[in-house]
A and B are shown apart, each in its own frame.
Chain A
Amino acid sequence: MSAQKAPTNEMQRLTFWERIYLPEIARGMGLTFKQMFKPTFTRQYPEERWEPEGSYRGRPVLVMEEDGERCVACGLCSRVCPALAIEVRAGETTQEKERYPVLFEINMLRCIYCGFCEEVCPEEAIVMSKDYELVFSSQEEGIFGKEKLLVPVAQLQDRLEFLRQYR
């Protein structure tokens, strides 16, 4: 090999059998034929659903305790949101936390699932859920109000545990 001149282009590098294509084509076709009998990776979606881990960043939701949401309407999430998707309007309440959101809207058409809102929240009141099935048929439907955002704390245990462990 050292005595020969080094190959300068692709055609010189190939052997005769590689250059007439046919044996290589047969080899490639053998490979695809073998693949036909291997198991498939397909998940039959509507019947088989994927259950994400706690680390998954699905749609952001508000954590709801027995006596209402944790949110104190500080507005940090709205401030940090890079896509300007969150609108919060604060109001007063007789509860211990004194403030609560009168209006809390996330525009799901703008949300980019970055998780900054969750990271900045001092009360752990807004967290990313496992919900990845978001369907709406109009732009108005894409704006989620409190009625859609509030999720009982019991359903968010995986995410809250993950946050406590890694943050």
Chain B
Amino acid sequence: MTMEWTKILIWVAKGGILVNAMLVSAAYMVLAERKIAAWMQNRVGPNRVGPWGLFQSFADVIKLNLKEDVVPAAAHYHFHAMAPIIAIGVAITLYAVIPFGDYVIIGGHTIQLGMAPNMNIALLVILAMTSVAVYGITLAGWSSNSKYSLLGGLRSAAQMISYELSMGLSVVGVVMLSSSLNISEIIRSQTDLQWNLFFQPVGFLLFFISSLAELNRAPFDLPEAEPELVGGYHTEYSGMKFGTLYLAEYANILSASCLMTALFLGGWDVPFLPKLLGLQPGSIELALMQVGSFLTKSFALVFVVIWIRWSLPRFRYDQLMNLGWKILLPIAMVNIALTGIGILLFKH
């Protein structure tokens, strides 16, 4: 009985920590985006709230909560309210299958560092959830009953469906190398700098570009192209509903970065150091190092995503579709074939 209760308690604690850490880091990514944008444009950025503007995120959240929630008279009220919930729900669900470290033994309990890290179909869950994410955005665009929102929603639907193909196919190489859909297994197959990045550089590039398109990030941010569509699918949103959509967007950036870290950058792998120091698997020191390694790589990728946004101009819509269907998809298929040949030649 007590064993059951401690298990449930650990689960609840893990979930609480994960969701809170995710929301806070999403809020701080907004600040990071503004700061990095400012630095790249030789400006200072937000610096009024707290030292170096560090509390700007809290000011933003308080402001969004206090703002009036305007729903257009022509909008479908219930769908309009549902869209942000779907968006943030999908964004949070993705974190359930991402392992941030291996495991840690505290007081005889083996605690996995992730909500469901050893799920054997984790990669499929992620690809499925990213498809569901389209519904949130499309619903937001359609239910607002505004031309800008609808165009944004439609663009996003077309774009996400097109790039899902090359995204799914670019992962196949990784799955072939580790012969598993389990993310923990994929990470274990990359220990000691045998990162998939070095065996699948094309796969990594394809996955990175497709995730930028999936995330509606620059240079593929057509669904919210400010000069043409006002705000895109969230034009008609205000207050915390807008905040939720915005938060979901940044949460998705972080989860995509975590996924890229897990699939291509060795996940929690700390190369060679644990063996030199003689750390036992399951010890707290090793777990901290693993989580630190995972988060450092993830946030480095988040920086790259932000960096790209403030460097590159937006693609035109036909260029976007050409890139997705005529270039990325064939390269992804060739990549799968070459990976198969490579495995035949070198692994057997």
Expressed in whole angstroms, the Cα–Cα distance for A25 and B219 within the complex equals 11
User: Scoring A residues 5 to 48 as 1 if CB is less than 8 Å from chain B, else 0, what string do you get?
Assistant: 00000000000000000100100110111011011111010000
Shortest distance from the beta carbon of B32 to any chain A beta carbon, whole Å: 13
Once bound together, how far apart are the Cα atoms of A32 and B44, in whole Å? 15
**14 pairs across A/B with beta carbons < 8 Å?**
A25-B312, A28-B311, A28-B312, A29-B311, A29-B312, A32-B40, A35-B39, A35-B41, A36-B36, A36-B40, A38-B42, A40-B42, A42-B43, A42-B44
Return the CB mask of B14-40 against A: 1 if under 8 Å, else 0: 000000000000000000000010111
| Count of A-B contacts judged by CB separation below 8 Å | 35
Distance of A39 from chain B, by nearest CB (Å): 7
User: Taking the complex as formed, is B246 at the interface, i.e. its CB lies under 8 A from any CB of chain A?
Assistant: no
Near B by CB (< 8 A), chain A positions 66-94 give none
B308 x A36 contact (CB < 8 A)? no
Alpha-carbon distance between A35 and B36 when the two chains are bound, in angstroms: 10
Tell whether, in the assembled complex, residue B42 and residue A32 are in contact, meaning their CB atoms are under 8 Å apart.
no
From A31, A32, A35, residue with most partner B Cβ within 10 Å: A32
Per the CB 8 Å criterion, the residue count for chain A at the interface is: 15
Contacts of A33 in B (CB 8 A): 40, 307
Report the Cα distance A28→B307, complex, angstroms: 11
Chain A residues with CB below 8 A from B205, complex form: 22
CB-CB under 8 A from B307, the residues of chain A are: 29, 32-33
Q: Which residues of A contact B40 (CB under 8 A)?
A: 32-33, 35-36
- Assuming the A-B contacts A32-B307, A33-B307, are A39 and B42 also in contact, with contact meaning beta carbons closer than 8 angstroms in the complex? yes
Question: Which of A22, A29, A31, A35 sits near B42, CB closer than 8 Å?
Answer: A35
Across the A-B interface, give the 6 residue pairs with the lowest CB-CB distance, nearest first. Answer: A36-B39, A32-B311, A42-B44, A32-B40, A29-B311, A35-B40
Q: Is B310 an interface residue (CB 8 A)?
A: yes
Give B contacts to A, CB under 8 Å: 36, 38-44, 205, 307-308, 310-312
A140: min CB distance to chain B, Å: 29
**Which residues of chain B have C-beta atoms less than 8 A from A25's C-beta?**
311-312
Q: With a CB–CB cut-off of 8 A, which chain B residues contact A28?
A: 311-312
Tell me whether B311 and A41 are in contact (CB under 8 A).
no
A36 vs B45: C-alpha distance in the bound complex, in angstroms?
12
Give CA–CA (A84, B302) in the complex, Å: 56
How far, in Å, is A10 (CB) from chain B's closest CB?
13
Given contacts A29-B311, A40-B38, A40-B39, 11 further A-B contacts (CB under 8 A): A28-B312, A29-B307, A29-B312, A32-B40, A33-B40, A40-B42, A40-B43, A40-B44, A41-B43, A42-B44, A44-B44
- Asked if A32 contacts B310 (CB within 8 A), the reply is yes
Query: Would B312 and A41 count as touching, CB distance under 8 A?
Result: no
Q: Which residues 116-131 of A sit at the B interface, judged by CB distance below 8 A?
A: none
CB distance from B156 to the nearest CB of A (A): 23
Instruction: Name the CB-closest residue of B to A46.
Output: B48
A22-B308 Cα distance, complex, nearest whole Å: 12
How many angstroms from the CA of A42 to the CA of B205 in the assembled complex? 37
A29 to B41, CA, bound (A): 13
Query: Which residues from A are CB-within-8-Å of B308?
Result: 29
CB distance from B320 to the nearest CB of A (A): 13
